[in-house]
Amino acid sequence: MHKSNEHSLKEIINELLKEYKLNDKLRELKIIETWPKIVGSVIAKHTKAIYIREKKIYVTMDNAAIKEELFYARTKLMNLINKELAEEYIKEIILK
């Protein structure tokens, strides 16, 4: 029987993403895209920057009261973000 060289497009794309180390960037874009849905429009308006390093999300806020509110909701936010990513990826949220 012949060994098939055929691969699904999904497999090829996943291999390319892995090879060029783009998975983290795609996760970051997904989080930025869904941030307003996760936290709501008011909090999203006060968010100045979001980036990911070593499975940690760094969020810069421009409002101290909202930052403190998010501080206490970090675990819930982390769970919602991981649910959006469909994997347990984010290990910590750091607010600035």
Q: 54 in a domain, yes or no?
A: yes
pTM given for the model: 0.79
| Distances in whole angstroms, Cα of residue 9 to Cα of each of 15, 20, 23, 79, 86 | 10, 16, 16, 30, 20
Question: In whole angstroms, what is the distance from residue 14 CA to residue 11 CA?
Answer: 5
Residue 80: which CATH number?
A: 3.30.70
Q: Number of folded domains in the chain?
A: 1
Structural domain of 88: 23-95
Residue 7 in domain: no
Per-residue pLDDT reduced to its tens digit, 55-88: 999 999 999 999 999 999 999 999 999 999 999 9
Q: Is residue 4 part of a domain?
A: no
Q: Answer whether residue 27 is part of any domain.
A: yes
* 61 belongs to a structural domain: yes
- With contact defined as beta carbons under 8 Å apart, do 85 and 91 qualify? no
15 belongs to a structural domain: no
pLDDT of residue 1: 46
Residue 8 lies in a domain: no
